[in-house]
């Protein structure tokens, strides 16, 4: 084991809300039972390999700022990949989040040919398997990076060139097999550059049909290798392309229906993507459960004033309580979990900043879980049920069952039927949420 994070104890412990220790959990108590399940099993936290270990803090205006020596230019990419993985598992073990997630190119870089690239990738996957066995860490999902390399500038599956489609297929084939080998619980396909910059050169119908073809190939392969996990699409409205096809949950659901993929593909909802698409996080979760496509969550946060994917660590208990409430209402995760698709700010240059970020994120989600579980079967549900009580009455039922016609409803109104407006009680309900957050302990 490395000692890259030498200022951090062997294991971050739960010390409770009264603790002032910045390297301890105040809310995340893995074994505590909440609404019938251990916190760890409700939240299923995962650390993302890319933001935490494959990014050195560079942005479009400047070079990396973070202390990630394995990312320095090197003539020995194999040694660098090994070093990165050793440090990553030191981090995972100390943090105690049960899962991790990766892109193929996070584990090892692209080398001279596909064969060479795959050989190093497979070596790193085997090594990850050994680390997982040693530490007990599990894989929430794997994915392929089919958007960074210049060959993907016009998309992967939606590329106008079928040879690029083939290249992406080769990568996904390998990454899916690797995910299966590591016991991954899901496989994710984020749209990357599956979208367009201008309709002047884009045949949207063709591109969407290509995407669907690609997904059918993935499903067939999943079956042929016996991968038991879910295949997840990750909606995002834009960035990097001006318009992404997987815009939001509703767009993905319509796409799955149109191309006969419903039941085969679910969604990985990212909080910041939800807000970029003009929805609340909670809305996207509720929409996914309603459509039967809920899968997993990328837990992060944007910024109210900035309109791009900032991937901040979640800090708002209020936002996350509303999201967790919808997750609980829907019945919680099956194979999914909460992946921190989140990165440090580039001024957070101390090694232990990565711990502070994850501890804060995990505590935010744990506290949100406590508040949401307190709201689950209380006054909030009673109030919601009461609001629709009319639909359970014989009159409401006669409409819902199809017994009534437009004319028969007209006749009832003509005969004197008058609605009585009822309060929506929004402010009272918002106070219930505030109270549940105050009292979560």
**Residue 69 token pair:** 């020596």
Q: Is 209 exposed, middle or buried (0-12, 13-18, 19+ CB in 10 A)?
A: middle
Q: How far is the CB of 368 from Ni ion (least distance, A)?
A: 19
Q: Which of 322, 259, 331, 340 is nearest to 295 (CA)?
A: 331
Site string (335-364) toward ligand XLS, x via CB under 6 A: ------x-----------------------
Quick one: DSSP state of residue 335? S
Residue closer to ligand XLS, measured from CB, 207 or 298: 298
Give the residue carrying structure tokens 């993985």. 85
Q: Which of 70, 99, 190, 214 binds ligand XLS (CB under 6 A)?
A: 190
**Residue 317 token pair:** 């208990």
C-alpha span between 288 and 282 (Å, rounded): 10
Q: How far is the CB of 311 from Ni ion (least distance, A)?
A: 6
Q: Where are the alpha helices (DSSP H) in 277-331?
A: 281-291, 317-329
Annotated active-site residue 20? The verdict is no
Q: Which does 221 bind (CB under 5 to 8 A by kind): Ni ion, ligand XLS, none?
A: none
Annotated active-site residue 3? The verdict is no
Tell me phi and psi for residue 334, to 5 degrees.
Answer: -105, -85
Looking only at residues 132 through 151 of this chain, which bind ligand XLS when binding is defined by CB under 6 A?
143
**131 alpha-carbon distance from chain centroid:** 24
Residue closer to ligand XLS, measured from CB, 7 or 148: 148
Q: Which of 29, 42, 51, 103 is catalytic?
A: 103
Residue closer to Ni ion, measured from CB, 111 or 310: 310
Q: How far is the CB of 190 from ligand XLS (least distance, A)?
A: 4
Q: How far is the CB of 246 from ligand XLS (least distance, A)?
A: 11
Burial 12-37 (b: 16+ CB within 10 A, else e): bebeeeeeeeebbbbbbbbebebeee
Interface residues toward Ni ion, by CB under 5 A: 270, 298, 309, 341
Q: Which residue is nearest to ligand XLS (CB)?
A: 190
Looking only at residues 223 through 252 of this chain, which bind ligand XLS when binding is defined by CB under 6 A?
234, 236
| Residues at the site binding ligand XLS, with contacts judged by CB under 6 A | 103, 143, 188, 190, 234, 236, 270, 298, 309, 341
Please give the positions annotated as active site: 103, 106
């Amino acid at each position: 084991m490395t000692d890259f994070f030498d200022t951090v104890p062997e294991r971050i412990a739960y010390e409770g809300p009264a603790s002032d220790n910045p390297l301890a959990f105040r809310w995340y108590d893995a074994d505590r039972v909440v609404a019938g399940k251990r916190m760890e099993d409700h939240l299923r936290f995962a650390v993302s390999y890319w933001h935490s270990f494959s990014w050195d803090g560079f942005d479009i205006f400047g070079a990396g700022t973070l202390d990630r020596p394995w990312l320095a230019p090197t003539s020995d990419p194999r040694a660098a990949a090994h070093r990165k993985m050793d440090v990553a598992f030191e981090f995972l073990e100390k943090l105690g989040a049960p899962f991790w997630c990766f892109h193929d190119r996070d584990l090892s870089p692209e080398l001279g040919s596909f064969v060479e690239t795959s050989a190093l990738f497979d070596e790193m996957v085997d090594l990850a398997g050994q680390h997982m066995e040693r530490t007990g860490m599990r894989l929430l999902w794997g994915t392929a990076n089919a958007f960074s390399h210049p060959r993907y500038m016009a998309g992967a599956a939606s590329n106008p060139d079928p040879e690029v489609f083939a290249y992406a297929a080769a990568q996904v084939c390998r990454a899916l097999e690797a995910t299966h080998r590591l016991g991954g619980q899901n496989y994710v396909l984020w749209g990357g550059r599956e979208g367009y910059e201008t309709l002047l050169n884009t045949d949207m119908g063709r591109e969407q049909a290509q995407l669907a073809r690609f997904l059918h190939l993935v499903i067939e392969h999943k079956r042929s290798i016996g991968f038991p996990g879910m295949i997840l699409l990750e909606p995002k409205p834009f960035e990097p392309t001006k318009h992404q096809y997987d815009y939001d949950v509703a767009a993905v659901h319509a796409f799955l229906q149109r191309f006969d993929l419903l039941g085969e593909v679910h969604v990985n909802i990212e909080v910041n993507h939800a807000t970029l698409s003009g929805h609340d996080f909670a809305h996207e979760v509720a929409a996914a459960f309603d459509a039967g496509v809920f899968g997993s969550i990328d837990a992060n946060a944007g910024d109210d004033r900035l309109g791009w994917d900032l991937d901040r660590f979640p800090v708002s208990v209020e936002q996350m309580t509303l999201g967790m409430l919808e997750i609980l209402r829907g019945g919680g995760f099956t194979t999914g979990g909460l992946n921190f698709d989140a990165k440090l700010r580039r001024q957070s240059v101390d090694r232990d900043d990565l711990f502070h970020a994850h501890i804060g994120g995990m505590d935010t989600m744990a506290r949100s879980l406590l508040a949401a579980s307190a709201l689950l079967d209380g006054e909030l549900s009673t109030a919601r049920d009461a609001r629709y009580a009319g639909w359970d009455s014989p009159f409401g039922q006669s409409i819902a069952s199809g017994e009534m016609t437009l004319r028969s409803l007209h006749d009832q109104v003509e005969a004197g039927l008058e609605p009585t407006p009822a309060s929506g009680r929004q402010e009272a309900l918002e106070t219930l949420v505030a109270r549940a957050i105050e009292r979560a302990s």
